[in-house]
Amino acid sequence: MFLSRINYYPFKSLDGQAVECTRLLACGALEHDRRFVIFDTAGKLINGKQTAAVHRLCCEFDPVRRSVVLRERPAGRAASFQIDRQRQELEAWLGEFFDLGGPARIEEHAQGGLPDDLAAPGPTAIAEATLYEVASWFPGMTVEEVRARFRPNLEIGGVPAFFEDQLSASADEVVDFAIGEARLSGTNPCQRCVVPSRWSLTGEVGPARDFAKTFAELRRQTLPPWADTSRFDHFYRLAVNTRSADGRACAIRVGDEVRVISRPHGVVL
């Protein structure tokens, strides 16, 4: 089994970018992942849970130039900003886009981003085959759409659908695994929010009217025998949260071998 794709999300809640290589930081997070966070004029986080408008904003980040190109979907206005020199202009543009009545505020978290799960700030991991399986559950759904909705960081090739469920165990245990020279601990299946229920490019709900309920029922029906059911208080979960296993910074690359290092009793490979 091997690392088939790396995705990071430089601006929290905006578009992801696929890269061939990156660094796993000492804190366990991917470099540049959720590095920039947008707040409204009242200091509240702007994300997909709060507003579907994030789906209408295309974002392309250049980590070398520290620049960002923003485009309004579909075929709307676009603007490019150098983040250090044009921070005020960028914040004003975002404030207008989100109709805040004033400029947004951008906060930078260079050393590990701003993860949703503070106890597991590492990248989320998923089998590539899982994305294909979930796509087959919903009419008109593509693998690219599933990827955009569930926003995984690391995709693992050469394994069956839901293999990632083997990378978490009971609540007081972790599963240690390696990606090349990097070491991660799988902690728990990732709980999902409203965002995966929406079409990624428009923010409209679909294709199922009750996407979360439909997904959870199909997830329950297809739960593999190796999954620890004690970690599923509900089945609206997909991918595995992780944290660093050794606190060491390390490069990871597409094509790196993925190996399970240690696992508690009951996790079957």
Q: What is the pLDDT of residue 186?
A: 95
Check residue 268 and give its pLDDT. 44
In the predicted model, is pLDDT for residue 265 greater than 80? Answer: no
Q: What is the mean pLDDT of residues 81-105?
A: 97
Under the banding of pLDDT at 50, 70 and 90, the label for residue 263 is confident
pLDDT in tens, 55-88: 999 999 999 999 999 999 988 889 999 999 999 9
What pLDDT, on the 0 to 100 scale, is given for residue 267?
Answer: 46
In this prediction the pTM is 0.94
pLDDT digits (tens, 9 = 90+) for 6-26: 999 999 999 999 999 999 999
- Which pLDDT score is estimated for 262? 84
28-65 pLDDT per residue, tens:
999 999 999 999 999 999 999 999 999 999 999 999 99
Domain 2-29+114-262 homologous superfamily, CATH = PK beta-barrel domain-like (2.40.33.20)
What pLDDT does residue 204 have? 94
Question: What mean pLDDT is reported for the chain?
Answer: 94
User: Looking at residues 188-198, what average pLDDT do you find?
Assistant: 95
Task: Quote the pLDDT of residue 119.
Answer: 85
Where exactly does CATH 2.40.33.20 map onto the chain? 2-29+114-262
DSSP assignments along the chain, one per residue: -EEEEEEE-SBTTS--EEESEEEE-TTSPBTTTT-EEEE-TTS-B--TTT-GGGGGEEEEEETTTTEEEEEETTT--EEEEETTTSHHHHHHHHHHHTT-SS--EEEE-TTT---S-TT--S--EEEHHHHHHHHTTSTT--HHHHHHHH--SEEEESS-TTGGGGGB-STT-BEEEEETTEEEEEEEEEE--SGGGB-TTT--B-SSTTHHHHHHHHHHHT--TTS-GGG-SSS-EEEEEEEESS---EEEETT-BEEEEE--TT---
- Mean per-residue pLDDT, 142-165: 97
